[in-house]
């Protein structure tokens, strides 16, 4: 377990030593909103110091509230990418957990949700992480892959609408917002607005995206995930939609589960080989 960074050491960059086979290390990454807030981040690296392509993995939003979010690590998924030669960066965005600050990704009232702004605020943090980490000597300036799960998948879709340079592909695992309304599974806030926002992102997105959902996702059921992907593609977004069989008790956790890696990895591997 990596130690919590003490207040006196809070300046951008690495915090403490690398640990373990995958060189896990705490970093602090600057935001771009003028607040001087630093995103608590975990970095994993392959052996050696030669520049490697970057993968940024983006976390979801806990149903118990953003302030309760633990430091994201995605250790099993991160190990899979590191084994394939990527530097993996897992930031904790503004408003979550130890990063703290204003909850910029809030979408407002459940029946009148602004999912577009919420996604774009998440995308803003992704952009800040990409910009900062690409300046590190061990990261290549191109070939960056963006991956996100749940709210992080939604932020990834929003980031795709920016068409960032040097990013050939993005992967959305179970992306969306407003799931588990009133803490009830399969009950969503403003699903029509979610579909509409997906279409808005697709209107300007031209980066190839892979969307992976499961038939037993209790946040975004198959009908809703299909509609989001269809709206994204019909407005111009480049989307490959994969609906996988049921996984565990709730397929929403496929990406983060260690036993989920063998299931999703073959789709991701094939996708990345086509879009290097």
Residue 5 has pLDDT above 60, yes or no: no
Q: What is the mean pLDDT of the chain?
A: 95
pTM above 0.85, yes or no: yes
Q: Which residues pair with 41 in a beta bridge?
A: 27, 91
Domain range summary for the chain, segments of one domain joined by +: 9-178+246-274
**How far, rounded to the nearest angstrom, does the alpha carbon of residue 247 sit from its chain's CA centroid?**
20
Residues 158, 201: contact at Cβ < 8 Å? Answer: yes
DSSP assignment string, 231-249: HHHHTT--EEEEEEPP-SS
Mean pLDDT of 62-75: 93
- Distance (Å, rounded) from C-alpha 216 to C-alpha 211? 15
- Distance (Å, rounded) from C-alpha 5 to C-alpha 206? 39
Mean pLDDT of 182-192: 94
Q: Which residues contact 186 (CB under 8 A, 6 or more apart)?
A: 218, 221
List alpha helices for the chain, DSSP H: 75-82, 115-133, 151-160, 191-204, 222-234, 261-274
Two structure tokens written together for 265: 């990895």
- Distance (Å, rounded) from C-alpha 52 to C-alpha 85? 7
Residue 229 has pLDDT above 60, yes or no: yes
Nearest to 217 by CA among 190, 192, 245: 245
Two structure tokens written together for 235: 């407005």
Residues constituting the chain: 276
Residues 26, 42: contact at Cβ < 8 Å? Answer: yes
Two structure tokens written together for 137: 């000597």
Mean pLDDT of 165-185: 96
On the 0-12 / 13-18 / 19+ scale of CB atoms within 10 A, 6 is exposed
**If pLDDT is split at 50, 70 and 90, which confidence band does 8 have?**
very low
On the 0-12 / 13-18 / 19+ scale of CB atoms within 10 A, 249 is exposed
Q: What is the pLDDT of residue 6?
A: 43
Two structure tokens written together for 54: 């970057």
Residues 243, 225: contact at Cβ < 8 Å? Answer: yes
**How many other CB atoms sit within 10 Å of the CB of residue 97?**
17
Establish how many alpha carbons lie within 13 A of residue 76's alpha carbon, considering only the half-sphere containing its beta carbon: 13
Domain 9-178+246-274 CATH assignment equals 3.40.50.1820:
yes
Q: What is the pLDDT of residue 276?
A: 83
Nearest to 218 by CA among 246, 260, 257: 246
**How many other CB atoms sit within 10 Å of the CB of residue 243?**
15
Two structure tokens written together for 268: 């991701």
Q: Considering only residues 7 and 167, tell me which one the structure prediction assigns the higher pLDDT.
A: 167
**23-62: pLDDT as tens digits:** 999 999 999 998 899 999 999 999 999 999 999 999 999 9
Nearest to 252 by CA among 209, 190, 163, 188: 188
């Amino acid at each position: 377990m990596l130690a919590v960074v003490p207040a006196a050491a809070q300046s951008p960059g690495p915090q403490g030593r690398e640990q373990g086979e995958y060189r896990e290390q705490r970093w602090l990454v600057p935001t771009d909103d003028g607040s001087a807030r630093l995103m608590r981040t975990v970095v994993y690296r392959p052996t050696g110091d030669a520049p490697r392509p970057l993968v940024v993995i983006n976390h979801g939003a806990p149903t118990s509230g953003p302030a309760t979010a633990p430091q994201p690590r995605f250790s099993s998924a991160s190990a899979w990418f590191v084994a394939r030669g990527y530097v993996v960066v897992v930031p904790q965005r503004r408003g979550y957990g130890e990063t703290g600050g204003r909850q910029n990704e809030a979408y407002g009232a459940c029946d009148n949700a602004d999912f577009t702004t919420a996604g774009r605020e998440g995308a803003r943090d992704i952009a800040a992480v990409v910009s900062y980490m690409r300046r590190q000597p061990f990261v290549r300036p191109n070939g960056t892959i963006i991956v996100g799960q749940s709210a992080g998948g939604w932020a990834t879709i929003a980031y795709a609408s920016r068409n960032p340079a040097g990013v050939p592909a993005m992967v959305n695992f179970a992306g969306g917002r407003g799931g588990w309304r009133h803490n009830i599974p399969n009950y969503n806030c403003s699903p029509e607005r979610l579909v509409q926002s997906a279409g808005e992102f697709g209107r300007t997105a031209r980066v190839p995206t892979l969307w992976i959902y499961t038939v037993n996702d209790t946040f975004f059921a198959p009908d809703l995930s299909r509609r989001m992907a269809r709206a994204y593609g019909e407005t111009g977004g480049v989307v490959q939609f994969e609906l996988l069989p049921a996984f565990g008790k709730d397929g929403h956790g496929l990406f983060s589960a260690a036993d989920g890696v063998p299931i999703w990895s073959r789709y991701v591997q094939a996708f990345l080989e086509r879009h290097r």
